[in-house]
Amino acid sequence: MATGTIALAELAGGLDLYRTLESGQSYLWRREDGEMYGGDPAPDAWYSTVVDGDVIRVRRRDDRLEWESTTDAEATVRRLLRLDDDLEAIVAAGPDDPLLREAYEAHRGLRLVQDPPFGCLISFICSAQMRVSRIHSMVTALAREYGSQIAFDGGTYHAFPTPEQLAAATETDLRDLGLGYRAPYVVRTAEMVADGEARPAEARALEYEAAREYLTQFVGVGEKVADCVLLFSLGFDEAVPLDTWIRSAIEEYYPDCDRGSYADTSRAIRDRLGGEYAGYAQTYIFHHLRTGE
């Protein structure tokens, strides 16, 4: 077993694992002390995930982040949790907006994640008209049924399935897992990636709106899901997914940003939330409104 620690004092703006991993950005981590989104996790609870066949788990212990893995995972931990983001600078650079300031103040230490592209893509296809706890359940079920098993420290972990593994599922299989009408979307998108027809990571090379358009070729991916993948996996920090919570925030706090179409409203709210890091702002506002904390 490889292990290591990262001093939290080194991270500008700190790190709150609960807010980062249980705010509905990533569905690829599990908390080892019980069900997620139920609130009240132990302050030193382990969170685990699997990346490229390696188990990684992290927890906060006093003033440091501990990690354990099947391999030397410090660089991967830094990438997945975006530990090199200067959170203080990002918060300071945001617009002087009452709702945003309230959200930033209330959820210190929430960082954006950087999920692996395929798992992120399928997660957000599953997210349509679903509560975050159920999205997590669905993604967990996909990993359990179709992902590779990996033994680590006396336990069994499940990787999120590869495109090939998931493409082997049938629509009926996934409906039986509880995916509902999303089942054929997941199968067809997995087949597209497995067949080499398109790959989500290819959107990285494109300009933001072209990248969003590229992702909508996947079945079950519209503009909102595409924005989520761009923001939570592909490094487009300006992406502002227009979900039900943000739409209600626009209605209540930024009514002049409602321009009718998704693309025009997206541009308007992106400018209002500071442009370059508008996605960071969006994620805080989403978490703030959704949890009511």
- Residues of this chain that bind DNA (CB under 7 A): 23-25, 127-132, 134-135, 175, 178, 180-181, 185, 216, 218-226, 228, 232, 241, 243-246, 260-261, 282-283, 286, 290
In sequence order, the 6+-apart residues with CB closer than 8 A to the CB of 197 are 191
Residue 222 CB, nearest distance to DNA (Å)? 3
Tokens of 177: 């897992």
Instruction: Identify which of residues 20 and 69 has a Cβ nearer to DNA in the complex.
Output: 20
Residue 7 CB, nearest distance to DNA (Å)? 28
Tokens of 75: 């660089």
Long-range contacts formed by 202-209: CB under 8 A, 24+ apart: 203/229, 203/230, 203/234, 204/234, 204/235, 208/236, 208/238, 208/239, 209/263
Residue 192 CB, nearest distance to DNA (Å)? 11
Residue 204 CB, nearest distance to DNA (Å)? 19
Residue 55 CB, nearest distance to DNA (Å)? 25
Instruction: Identify which of residues 39 and 155 has a Cβ nearer to DNA in the complex.
Output: 39
Residue 9 CB, nearest distance to DNA (Å)? 28
Are residues 53 and 118 in contact, defined by beta-carbon separation less than 8 angstroms?
no
Instruction: Identify which of residues 143 and 249 has a Cβ nearer to DNA in the complex.
Output: 249
Instruction: Identify which of residues 132 and 206 has a Cβ nearer to DNA in the complex.
Output: 132
Instruction: Identify which of residues 245 and 253 has a Cβ nearer to DNA in the complex.
Output: 245
CA distance 39 to 42: 9
CA distance 99 to 101: 6
Phi first, then psi: give them for residue 92, nearest 5 degrees.
Answer: -65, -30
Instruction: Identify which of residues 106 and 130 has a Cβ nearer to DNA in the complex.
Output: 130
